[in-house]
Structure 1
Amino acid sequence: MNADPLTDFSRLCVHTITTKGWDLEEAVDHYAQAGVSGITVWRQWLEGRDPSKAGKSIRAAGLKVVSLCRGGFYPAVEEKSRLDAIEDNKRAIEDAAALGAPIVVLVCGAVPGQSLVESRMQITDGIAATLPLAESLGIKLAIEPLHPMYADDRSAINSLASANDVCDELNHPLVGIAYDVYHLWWDPDLEAQTRRTAEANRLFSFHVCDWMTPTTDLLNDRGLMGEGCIDLRGIRGMVEDSGFKGMIEVEVFSNRWWEKPPQEFLQAIKQSYLHYT
């Protein structure tokens, strides 16, 4: 029997950063009670916790551990900082394996004043340095291209094309892409690059939210689906026509929503998921 599309949350995943007023245990309890199916755990939510025990608790509540967020931030002017970043990413991979998360999402990093070309080379080298560990533990590494407004200090990977280029260079089945509509919706080459991503079997994750007009904060004024101008259904259709059948991950950074009770926010997430994605 097919699920009722008006009540089907079987592919709904929520990031812990979205309901950041809850600690991990609270988020797991509330997500499970609300019928959410998956959780992406941000690394801050594992601080002071045993990842293995946390993963067991999550699965015992009936939730799927979709991914661990986030690794990355490879570029640096000083070699020691680059080596420290590689070690930190290795810890993220180990935590993901212990948690039972199949994917580590990578926000790749950038350095103000350093050329994007150099930063992209350092990103590629950094991911390559962590691949033997990822391979030994069976953990996928999902490069998340960020909107160009973050090119100065958050990521030198600023389009789906640039993420695909890094994947092509590394040429490894465990290296793929976390596809976030907030960062990609504007791209005139999105359809062609989506096909390129899918044909290479590297569309690992799909994140949704919306773009507010006007945007009052470049980091923390994302919209809930349906509040902004992104063609969410069109993009989801394009992604699914390319073969993606994974979880739909709600990742909303919003000072406006964070001021509300997390339970109210979670109910709004469920409704916007059903009606606008």
Structure 2
Amino acid sequence: MPTDLSKLCVHTITTKPWSLDVAVDKYAAAGVAGISVWQDAATSVGLTQARRILEASPLEVVSYVRGGFFPNHSREERARALDKNRQLIDEAATLGAPLLVLVCGAEPRQPLAESRRQIQEGIESLIDHATSNGVKLAIEPLHPMYADTRSAISTLGQANDIAEAIDHPQVGIAVDVYHLWWDDRLEQEIARCGKNDNLYAFHICDWKVPTSDMLLDRGLMGEGCIDVPLIRSWVEAAGFRGYNEVEIFSNDYWAMEQDDFLARITDAYRAHS
């Protein structure tokens, strides 16, 4: 288990009721070392002010969330998605974020294989722009329950296939335990990331039992059925030395006093990560 908070990062969406300036101050005061910034948190204060807030803080900016949503029946809509992602890359660079996380999307009116082809094509189209801005791209596979519209990439194996086909150091993988804990090939696929040196992010939370909402009822580490320490041991064995990023969507936790919630996050991180 972690003995300190030096590798703890919190996503701004986790403490959604807090504005960016409040989140930055509260995280730093609690000893959190990193922050992953969601677009709404940055644009609500303006990118210039958001950068000032982040630069004045001891927190390391770990990633910007989220790009993607590449597949579409319409060529024009796919082109608009690429423009949107270029904008997000620009925003990440403005904030000093080295990584843009990609929730890759899916088009329910076409086969998943076609959506995956469009995802690969879309990511390849962004590489030059990402490289020139110093922003890496992380493919995040999502749980199969989101395969209709949120992501045609449901397993780490599928993400690895696409990353290997692209074969560019600007493109890697984000592993989120909420989406991947059920996969019986998870350990092998994480090791595969290690061999390719492309494991760029590691997100943690827990799957509550029973869960009341597939999107908005994530739990704190140790609150559900995910063996977070075991999966963390696999990513570390694969050579990952980055942050453990707490990313929790929860109506219950957003409704509570956020100072108390942040204290629970740090306690759970020490005890169950």
Question: Quick check: TM above 0.5?
Answer: yes
Q: TM-score, with normalisation over the residues of structure 1?
A: 0.96
2:64/2:100 contact within 8 Å kept: yes
| Residues 207 and 219, structure 2, Cα contact 8 Å, conserved in 1 | yes
Contact 2:175 2:199 in 1 (8 A): yes
Pick one of 168, 177, 182 that aligns with 1:181.
Answer: 177
**Equivalent residue pairs, number:** 273
Cα deviation for residue 255 of structure 1 reads 1.1
Which 4+ residue blocks in structure 1 deviate beyond 6 angstroms?
none
2:104 to 108, 115, 131: 108
Q: Letter of the aligned partner of 2:101 in structure 1?
A: V
Alignment partner, residue 206 of structure 1 = 202
User: Offset at 1:113?
Assistant: 2.5
Give structure 2 stretches of 5+ with no counterpart. none
The CA deviation string for residues 168-223 of structure 1, in whole angstroms up to 9 with x for no partner, is 11110010001100011110111110110111010000000001111111100111
Question: How far is the alpha carbon of 1:53 from its aligned partner?
Answer: 4.1
- Worse-matched range after superposition: 81-90 or 112-121: 112-121
1:195 aligned residue (185, 188, 191): 191
Aligned to 1:66: 62
1:149 aligns with 2:155: no
Q: Which residue of 2 aligns with 1:132?
A: 128
Q: Distance in 1 between matches of 2:123 and 2:39?
A: 18
Q: Residues 1-277 of structure 1 correspond to what in structure 2 (within 5 A)?
A: 5-6=2-3, 8-277=4-273
How many Å separate the matches in 2 of 1:272 and 1:223?
A: 10
Q: Once the two structures are superposed, what CA deviation does each residue of 1:15-62 show, in whole Å capped at 9, x if it has no partner?
A: 000000001111111111111110000011121444354234213220
- Hey, what's the Cα distance between the residues in 2 that align with 1:274 and 1:79? 48
What is the identity, as a one-letter code, of the residue corresponding to 2:63? S
Tell whether the 8 Å contact from 1:55 to 1:65 is kept in structure 2 after alignment.
Answer: no
Q: Deviations over 1:59-112 (max 9, x none)?
A: 322000000000000111111111000000000101111100000000000112
Letter in 2 for 1:75: P
- TM-score, with length taken from structure 2: 0.97
| Percent of matched pairs sharing the same residue | 52
Shift in alpha-carbon separation, 1:180–1:5, aligned structure 2, 3 A: closer
1:18 counterpart SS class: helix
Contact 2:2 2:269 (C-alpha < 8 Å) held by counterparts: no
> 1:144·1:180 contact (CA, 8 Å) conserved in 2?
yes
C-alpha displacement at 1:236, in angstroms?
A: 0.5
Instruction: Provide structure 1 residue ranges, at least 5 long, that are not aligned to the other structure.
Output: none
Q: Alpha carbon RMSD of aligned pairs, Å?
A: 1.2
Q: C-alpha distance in 2, partners of 1:55/1:251?
A: 21
Q: Distance in 1 between matches of 2:230 and 2:2?
A: 17
Alignment CA distance shift 1:48-1:209 (3 Å): closer
Contact 2:143 2:180 in 1 (8 A): yes
